[in-house]
Structure 1
Amino acid sequence: MSRLIVVSNRLPFALDLTSEDLWTVTPAAGGLVSAIEPVLRERGGTWIGWPGVAGEIPRTPLEKATRGAGYAVVPVSLSKAERDEFYYGYSNEVIWPLFHDLQNFCHFEPAFWETYKTVNERYADAIARHCQLGDFIWVHDYHLMYVAQALRARRVHAALTFFLHIPFPPFDIFAKLPQQQRLLRALLEFDLLGFQTRRDLRNFLQCVRRVLSDAEVLPSAG
């Protein structure tokens, strides 16, 4: 049976340092954790993500948080500046509002994109160190849309699957994104893409046709 490797922006828990210099562990809320963690607990596997603390990741509380989980955890470290520009910046001040057609809330800072790529490459490094041919690698959401391209550059040929948990916009909105072509090419490095609705899928294919002149969209056989 192939191994399951889940990759998301956050791990299924968050570490936090209290004012008394004590580390606390808080289980993450949300549909992704509720849906995926029971699967990993039952069949085993690996979850790769950020533990919620900027800077150096403390080893002891991380080990305590994952003891008896039934699956391995691989933390990805982020500096405060990387957290701000990757998470609060490109992910949540560019992609999230644009994809929800809230364009007035977008801040297209060039530095955000550069940090977004850098962090996605760090996730790719973590995946590359822990995967092998035959693994099922499941990457989640808009924070990590560049991961597959970074993995292919590292000669990782395992099957890569991606699911987008927010809407994908139509072309007239997506065209406002300065990195539209680079992001589409990065997404097409995944072997399988999943969207929430057929409308999101149609919007994605429309953008591929309009933005990538060398791409060919084939009709579905189903």
Structure 2
Amino acid sequence: MARLVVVSNRVPIPDKSGTAPAGGLAVALQTALEARGGLWLGWSGRSCTDDAVGPLQRLKEGNIEYALTDLTERDVEEYYQGFANRVLWPICHYRLDLAEYGRREMAGYFRVNRFFASRLLPLIEPDDLIWIHDYHLIPLAAELRRQGVTNRIGFFLHIPWPAPDVFHAMPVHEALLTSMTAYDVLGFQTEHDRENFADCLSRHGLGDRLDAFRFTVGERSFTARSYPIGIETDDFAALAKRAAETALHKRMLQSLDGKQLIIGVDRLDYSKGITQRIDAFESFLTRHADSQRKVTLLQITPKSRSEVPEYEAMQRAVAEQAGRVNGALGTVDWVPIRYINRSLRRPALAGLYRMAKLALVTPLRDGMNLVAKEFVAAQNGEDPGVLLLSRFAGAAQELKEAVLVNPYDVEGTADAIARSLAMPVEERRERWTAMMTTLRTNDVFAWCDGFLDDLAAGPTPQQARPAAASASARAAETRAQTLRKSSPAPLARWS
């Protein structure tokens, strides 16, 4: 069995006891790495001056080797805070108005990807399968190909891939799109994302489409499929059941004093629709005055990217909005919104999910959203809560039995909250049972195995395309080769 090499922006390092941080993705990837023997490379999270980047920090736990690299302060500013999170993130979430372009940041993004390639190159063995993750590292396979790597390389995008008119608004979009064709298998969260990517290729005349999943660019072919990521469903269900017996769970129930709990859990980000959600909750309470003093919204929103001005401003705005609603509607013995601006440990969250009668998962755009799946898995099947889910979350493509809403429609979401809280137990059980069947079928281990099976199954990366190569394909390959050769030069000018 080939060794697996995983590359991601950050790496979940085991603690001193050898236990990795909790989370379905980390669990699945570590399971795959342990089974095959593997290497996980990424940023250490530390920054230093330009002349102080030392050698890779190596750590071995069981059958897995971890390799961490520091980045310079300039790298972090340009690659991570700059292009990745102030250009790619907003554009992929359809927020062109928040994208801030800068040639220096674009140059830093490509420069750090070349740096990652140089750090990975000496560690690659001939038969390794290489699996690269997320928007920070889109150009990495192209950089590895330039340095002679012929291993099979896969890429999974955890966030949405936007429609062509949105993606093409980004400078260097053609260089990024061409970089994607250096992979052998491309994974997207949903069919919509995959089709958006295919439409981008078509709009540029970049290669030919052989069938629903296979594409060619010159003499290379690659596969693009949707692989909806899941959670460790049964393990999380068991965690939630255990959490219901803890002292924290009992204290929370006591503090609610018989009121129904509505829960929202989101990283602080403009894509999550938190302000629209609070507006909808306020509208629900205003239009259904009989529900006041009977429900409480617990909104858990850990801080995110506070070094980026937009996020700092959003933190203030959400806190002020929650305070305004509490001031307008709250009473001496009832606070409509409990707002927590920090992380909770996973067992505590699992217990809160199980306690809640309703989860509000209403992002304006999301690649998948695993909170929706965790909430469903955490429920008591005899008396399950209701999942109210945005149509614009990737999870809505699988969890069709949730109460689906348009988060931009504040009054419609308010009405959906009222319907969900009044839903009969028989209907709640029916919806929950169907969603749990989906979650058990498409858990995180099935996601991981499905992608790696496709990555391992194909021929060598330099496979020949069919002999009757079309003129359009040859032209596309010529353009792709030109971009591959020319992109480092203009980007270097921006440094």
CA deviations over 1:158-204 (Å, ceiling 9, x no partner): 00000000000001101111111100100110011000001100000
Q: Which has the larger radius of gyration?
A: 2
- The 5-angstrom pairing of residues 167-186 of structure 1 reads 167-186=160-179
Larger relative contact order, structure 1 or 2 (CA cutoff 8 Å, min sep 6): 1
Counterpart Cα distance in 1 of 2:26 and 2:178: 28
Counterpart Cα distance in 2 of 1:14 and 1:210: 44
- Matched position secondary structure for 1:208: helix
Which of 193, 197, 207 is the equivalent residue of 2:200? 207
- Matched position secondary structure for 1:51: strand
Counterpart Cα distance in 2 of 1:159 and 1:46: 15
Instruction: Quote the residue 2:112 is aligned against.
Output: 119
- Matched position secondary structure for 1:2: coil
In the TM superposition, residue 219 of structure 1 has moved relative to its aligned partner by 1.8
The alignment status of 1:107 with 2:100, answered yes or no, reads yes
Counterpart Cα distance in 1 of 2:75 and 2:160: 25
Counterpart Cα distance in 1 of 2:71 and 2:103: 19
The alignment status of 1:217 with 2:209, answered yes or no, reads yes
- Matched position secondary structure for 2:161: coil
Query: Identity over the aligned pairs, expressed in percent?
Result: 35
Instruction: Quote the residue 2:29 is aligned against.
Output: 36
Which of 34, 39, 64 is the equivalent residue of 1:46? 39
- The 5-angstrom pairing of residues 35-184 of structure 1 reads 35-55=28-48, 56=52, 66-184=59-177
CA deviations over 1:25-59 (Å, ceiling 9, x no partner): x9656543232123223432100101111125788
In the TM superposition, residue 14 of structure 1 has moved relative to its aligned partner by 9.5
The list of structure 1 runs, each at least 4 consecutive aligned residues, that deviate by more than 6 angstroms after superposition, is: none
In the TM superposition, residue 216 of structure 1 has moved relative to its aligned partner by 1.6
Instruction: Quote the residue 2:5 is aligned against.
Output: 5
CA deviations over 1:82-118 (Å, ceiling 9, x no partner): 0111011111000011000012211111111111111
- Matched position secondary structure for 2:208: coil
TM-score, structure 1 normalization: 0.85
Gap change, CA 1:69 and 1:89, over 3 Å in 2: farther
- Matched position secondary structure for 2:71: coil
In the TM superposition, residue 13 of structure 1 has moved relative to its aligned partner by 3.2
Q: Is the 8 A contact 1:97 1:103 kept in 2?
A: yes
Counterpart Cα distance in 2 of 1:137 and 1:48: 11
Q: Is the 8 A contact 1:76 1:122 kept in 2?
A: no
C-alpha RMSD of matched pairs (Å): 2.5
Tell me the amino acid that sits aligned with residue 211 of structure 2. P
